[in-house]
Each structure stands twice: as C-alpha cells, then as structure tokens.
Structure 1
C-alpha cells in the first residue's frame, strides 16, 4: 500500500470508530466527496487538511501520518537511540538484539524511514558481530528500496566494505563503481569520497594498481577542494595504502600521519582506532627499527577498538598486526598469543586475513623450534587460500607461505606455492 492508501485507511478506521459519516466528518470545511477520495487513497491531503481531520476525529496528527501515536513514536525513537548508543559503545550483542526487537514492533509498518534506519543499524551491528553474510543480505535488501541519495551512498559504503572484508572483491568493486563510475555521478561530497576510499581499498586488494593510483589522486584532489576533515581523512588514509603498496613507504607514512592528525581532532573513536592500528602496521613495515614504537601504537589501538563499534574483523586485524610486531621484536611466544586471540574472533569466511594469521603462527612456532606446529599452520595457509579468487593480496600470502615452506624443508610444497603466487599475478 502507498502512503496515501495508509493515511486514507487510518482516517476511515477512526471515522467509523467515532460513528461519523463522511459527510459529518467533512462538514463544513470540506466536501464529502473529497473525504471519500482521501479515504480511498486517490487524493493526498495537505498538511493543513490532515491537521483539520485529526482535530475533527479527536486523534493525534502523528497517528494519521505514521500510524502511531505521539507517545508510541517517542518510544520508538528512544529505542532506536538506545540501540545506536549500544553499537557506538561497542556493546555489539546488545545493539543487535535491540535493533532486532525494534524491527519486530508492528508499529514500524508505516514508518518507512524509521524502519530503514533500524535495518541499517541491524546490518552494522551484524557486520560488527562477524556475521558478514547476513549483513550483506540486509544491505542488499535495503539497496533495493527507495531512499534518499545520501542514504543510498551510506548503504553502498557499508556493502562495499563488507564484500571487501569477505574477500568478495569483484562484488565490492561493482557496488562502488555503480555510483562512482556513472557518467551522471554527482559532485564530490564527504560521503562519495568515503565510498571512493572503500572502493580504492578493494582495487588494492584485487591488484588493480594502475586504477588504484589514478583513483587515489582523484580522491586527494576532491578532498582538497572540499577541505573537510572527513574527506581529507578518507583520501589520505587510502593514499597511504596505495603508496605503501607501490613501494613508497615514507610517502605512505606522510599521508597516514596527516590522516591520523585530522582524525584525532575530529573525533569518531572507531575510525581513529582503526587509523591508529593502520599507522602502527605501516610504521612497522617502513621502519622496522621502530618496531617497539609501532607495537605500542597498536596496543593503544586495540584498547580503543574494544570500546567502540569496531567489527570483529577490525579487532582481529589489530591482533594480527600486533603479532607481526612481536615477531620483529623477537618475541614469538607473544606473537602466538596475539594471533590466537585474532583467530578466535575471525568469521570463517574471512579467509585472506585468516591465512595471514596462520602464516604468522607458523613462523612464530618455527622461531621457537616447534617444527611440527610450524608445518601444520603453514598447511592451514594453503587450505584457506585455495578457494579464494586470484588477487594481489592472495598472491602475496602465497609467496610468503612458499618462503616459509622452503625454510621448513618442504621443497615440493614450496614450489607449488610459488606457482600459485605467480598464477595469481597472471604469470
């Protein structure tokens, strides 16, 4: 039913409950034929007419418009606010429960915007809980509905991100390019730059380096024109990733430092913590002699992430980066502890990050002289990578696994892993 149909049905229902005819309700301001057209959904009453009818029917205007009383509307908005607050504070399970309970409320039937906001909140909470397939299902359903341009972009950002984290890179790119690759794409906004940054990370994971470099420059130019903290953070953050991936480590650190500085001033605890973790990992790769400082940065990020709406993938990624730092610092036992904590959080369908975690575990056990354990975990790397489509990220992990297998004396397995790494790059 359309909004006009629903409004007309409510007017008709209340009129009959009051024992009034259409003529009695209409007199003297309106004609009974006009009331009939409204009740049948063939006319949409103006706000002034709706207010008049609410007075005549002795009911709230909120009920005629939304199907709920003012008190019910206040309770719904309060419940939605509590659910959002729980998500922001990192109380993921409670947030997911609150969003789901609110969606089960029949009063949301006529409240399209509120219902869509609640479903989007549930999608974010579901993503944060690690149920990425379910989050994708919710987001796809939302994208099929009519919505504001801004909300459509927000849904696309989330869907592109979840596809990327699920290693479904083709779908991630398709979602981003549907909006950003269109000839009728609107002028850049903060939201579009954020979508562009998410799309850029999918290009990087997939290995589209030429497109990634070109797009990074485009996003930086857009951010400079907008001059907003939100756009600057998104563009610089991902420009750092591109620079790092193309061997320009010091340039990457410069971009990352700028993004971190702006993010520190503008709040948003979850993104600040994610940025801090990325910066720590970047510092470790570019300046390994500062591994202790990098580890301390990531330890702080881990504490901050635990107090926000960060997803389990974000939390696991932080533990994996901490494990890298401990290996560089010569503490393989601590590295194993961090990797184990990360793997306990990871959803089963996040295979690429899981493979990286297994590889670090193998190297840590090898450093401790646990040859059998090292072999077992490097074989797990192979098992996780085999089902994944070819990508730059997968190629890098295959190559690292091959090096580890060679060091463990598994020559035949190493040769096969090197072959898989080459195949992923198209060679």
Structure 2
C-alpha cells in the first residue's frame, strides 16, 4: 500500500468506529465525494485537511499520518534515542539489544524513516560488536530500499567500511565507486568526502596506488572548496595515509597533525579516538625514536575507543599498535599483554588483523628467547595469510612475516614468505 492508501484506510476505519457516514464527516467544510476519494487513496489530503479530519474524528493527527498516537510516537523516538546514546557511550551490546527490541514494535512498521533509522543503528552496533557479516547484510538490505540521498551516502560509507575491514576489497570499491564514479555524481558534500576517504582506504588496501594518489588530491581540492571541518579532516587524514604509503613520512605526519587538530575541536568521540590511534601508529613508524610518545598517544586512544561507539576491531588494532610500541621500547612482556587483549577482540572473519597479532606473538616470543613458540606462531601467520586474496596489505604482512622468520633463523620459510610478498604485490 502507498502512504495515501494507508492514510485513507485509517480515516475510513476511525470514521466507522465513530459511527459516521462520509457525508457526516464531510459536512460542512468538505464534500462527501472528496472524503470518498481520500479514503480510497485516490487523493492525498493536504496537511490542513488532515488536521481538520483529525478534529472531526476526535483522534490525533499523528495517528492519521503515521498509524500511531502521539504518545506511541514519543515512546518510539525515546527508545531510539536511548539506543543511540548507548552506542555513542560504547555500550555496544546494550545498544544492539535496544535497537533489535525496538524493531519488534509493531507500531514501527508504518514509520518508514524511524524504522530505517533503527535498522541503521542496529547495523552500526552490529559492526561495533565485530559481526561484520551480519552488519553488511543489514546495510545491503537497507540500500535496496527507497531512502533520502543523504542516508544513501551514509549507508554507502558504512558498507564500504565493513567490506574493507572484512577484506572484501573489490566489493568495498564497487560500493564507493557506484556513487562517486557515476556520471551523475552530485556536488561534493561532507558526506561525499567521507565516502571518498573510505573508498581511498580500500584503494590503498588493494594496492591501487596511482588511483589512490590521484583521488587523494581530488579530495583535498574538494575539502578546500567546502572549507568544513569534516571534509578537511577526512581529506587530510587520507592524504596522510597516501603520503606515508609512498615513503613520505614527515609529509604524512604534517597532514595527520592538521586532521587531528581539526578533529579535536569538532569531531565525534569515536572518530577522534580512531584518528588518535592511527596517529600514534604513524608516529611510531615514521619516528621510532619517539616510541614512548607514540605509546602515550596510543594508550589515550585505547581508553577513548572503549568509551565510544568504536568497534572491537578499532580497539584491537590500537592494542596491537601498543604492542609494537612496547617491542620498540624493549618491553616484550608488556607487548604480550596487549597482543592477548587484542586477540580476544578480533572476529574470526577479520583474518588480516588476526594475522598481525600472530606475527607480533612470534616476534615477542623470539625476543623472550622462546624460539619454539615463536616458530609455531610464525607458521600460524603463513597459514592465515594463505587464505587472504592478493593485496597491498597482504604483501606487507607477508614481508613482515619473512623478516620475522629470517630473524628466527628459518631461511626456507623466509624465502617462501618473501616470494609470497612479491606475488601479492604483483611482482
């Protein structure tokens, strides 16, 4: 049924409950034929006519428009607000439960926008809990529905991100390019720049360096034109990632520091925490002599992530970076604490991040002199990596695995890992 059909049916139902004929409902302001056309869904009443009919029928305008009373609407909006607040505060499990319970409310069925808002919230909570497969299913279903242009971009951002984190890089690129590379792409907005930033990260993970470099410049130009904090943050951060990936470390830090400064003044807690963690990671790689400062940044980021709507994957990634900082600082035991904590958070289907954890375990065990355990972890890395499709990220991990095996004295394993790294890089 269309919206007009539903409104007409409600008017007809309430009129009959009140024991009124169409002529009695119409007189004297409306014609009974017009009431008949409204009830049959052949005419869409204006807001003024709807308000008049609600008065005549002694019912709420909210019920005629939405199928629920004003009180029921208030209850739904309140429940949705509580679910969103739980997610923002990092209470992911409670948020997921609240969103799911709200979707069982029959009164939500006819409220398309509120129902879509609730499902989108459930998808974000599901992603935050690490269930990327279910999150992608919800987002895909929502994208098949008619929605506003702004919500369509929000859905694309979330789905592109989920696909990227699930190592489904081709699908991540397809989602972003469907909007951003179409002939009818709208004028740049904050949301489109954020979608572009997510697409850019998928390019980088896949190893499309030329496309990533060109797209980073395009996003910077768009952000300069918009001049908004959100676009400046997204564009500069991804310019940082591209610069670091091509060996321009100090330039990458400059872009990242600009993005972090703007984000600190204007950003949501989740995004600020994620960016702080990524900045700590970048600082550690570019300036290893400042490992202690990087550790401080990463420690703060981890605390902020656990108090926000960030996913378990975000927290796990930050924990692994803390482990790397401790390794550089010569504290392998402390590094192992962070690795074990990260292992509890990484979903089984996020293979690349789990592999990074195994690789760090191998390095820590080697540093502690536990060479047998180190070799077991190194072999686990090889087994996990063999399940991943070729990508720039996989190439980097294979290379790190080769270095670790070489450090452990496993020359044959190191040679094989170097060969795998070159194959993933297309060499």
TM-score (norm 1): 0.99
What's the CA shift string for 1:48-77, capped at 9, x where partnerless? Answer: 111111111110000000000011111111
Q: What secondary structure is seen at the aligned counterpart in 2 of 1:25?
A: helix
Aligned residue in 2 for 1:326: 326
Higher alpha-carbon deviation: 292-301 or 29-38: 29-38
* Cα distance in structure 1, aligned partners of 2:35 and 2:374: 78
Aligned residue in 2 for 1:4: 4
Q: What secondary structure is seen at the aligned counterpart in 1 of 2:388?
A: coil
* Cα distance in structure 2, aligned partners of 1:32 and 1:379: 81
Aligned residue in 2 for 1:313: 313
Aligned residue in 2 for 1:229: 229
* Cα distance in structure 2, aligned partners of 1:198 and 1:218: 14
* Cα distance in structure 1, aligned partners of 2:119 and 2:167: 24
Aligned residue in 1 for 2:244: 244
* Cα distance in structure 1, aligned partners of 2:382 and 2:168: 18
Aligned residue in 2 for 1:217: 217
Aligned residue in 2 for 1:163: 163
CA drift of 1:252 comes to: 0.3
CA drift of 1:268 comes to: 1.2
Higher alpha-carbon deviation: 401-410 or 183-192: 401-410
What's the CA shift string for 1:158-205, capped at 9, x where partnerless? Answer: 000011111111110000000000111111111100000000011011
Q: What secondary structure is seen at the aligned counterpart in 2 of 1:163?
A: helix
Q: Is the 8 A contact 2:193 2:234 kept in 1?
A: yes
* Cα distance in structure 1, aligned partners of 2:266 and 2:393: 31
Aligned residue in 2 for 1:285: 285
Aligned residue in 2 for 1:63: 63
Q: Structure 1 unaligned runs (5+)?
A: none
Q: What secondary structure is seen at the aligned counterpart in 1 of 2:33?
A: helix
CA drift of 1:9 comes to: 1.0
* Cα distance in structure 1, aligned partners of 2:418 and 2:284: 25
What's the CA shift string for 1:330-362, capped at 9, x where partnerless? Answer: 111111110110111011111111111110110
What's the CA shift string for 1:218-242, capped at 9, x where partnerless? Answer: 1011111111111000001111110
Q: What secondary structure is seen at the aligned counterpart in 2 of 1:345?
A: coil
CA drift of 1:406 comes to: 2.4
Aligned residue in 1 for 2:16: 16
1:196 aligns with 2:225: no
Matches within 5 A, 1:22-421: 22-421=22-421
* Cα distance in structure 1, aligned partners of 2:386 and 2:421: 11
CA drift of 1:12 comes to: 1.0
Q: What secondary structure is seen at the aligned counterpart in 1 of 2:344?
A: helix
* Cα distance in structure 1, aligned partners of 2:22 and 2:384: 69
* Cα distance in structure 2, aligned partners of 1:388 and 1:303: 31
* Cα distance in structure 1, aligned partners of 2:409 and 2:190: 51
TM-score (norm 2): 0.99
* Cα distance in structure 2, aligned partners of 1:278 and 1:147: 33
* Cα distance in structure 1, aligned partners of 2:119 and 2:308: 20
Q: Is the 8 A contact 2:103 2:115 kept in 1?
A: yes
CA drift of 1:267 comes to: 3.6
Higher alpha-carbon deviation: 377-386 or 121-130: 377-386
**How many residues get paired?**
427
Q: Is the 8 A contact 2:230 2:267 kept in 1?
A: no
* Cα distance in structure 2, aligned partners of 1:25 and 1:266: 54
Q: What secondary structure is seen at the aligned counterpart in 1 of 2:186?
A: coil
* Cα distance in structure 2, aligned partners of 1:56 and 1:141: 40
CA drift of 1:78 comes to: 0.6
Higher alpha-carbon deviation: 161-170 or 36-45: 36-45
Q: Structure 2 unaligned runs (5+)?
A: none
CA drift of 1:33 comes to: 2.0
**RMSD (Å), alpha carbons:** 0.9
* Cα distance in structure 2, aligned partners of 1:340 and 1:37: 67
* Cα distance in structure 2, aligned partners of 1:383 and 1:334: 26
CA drift of 1:211 comes to: 0.4
Q: What secondary structure is seen at the aligned counterpart in 2 of 1:90?
A: coil
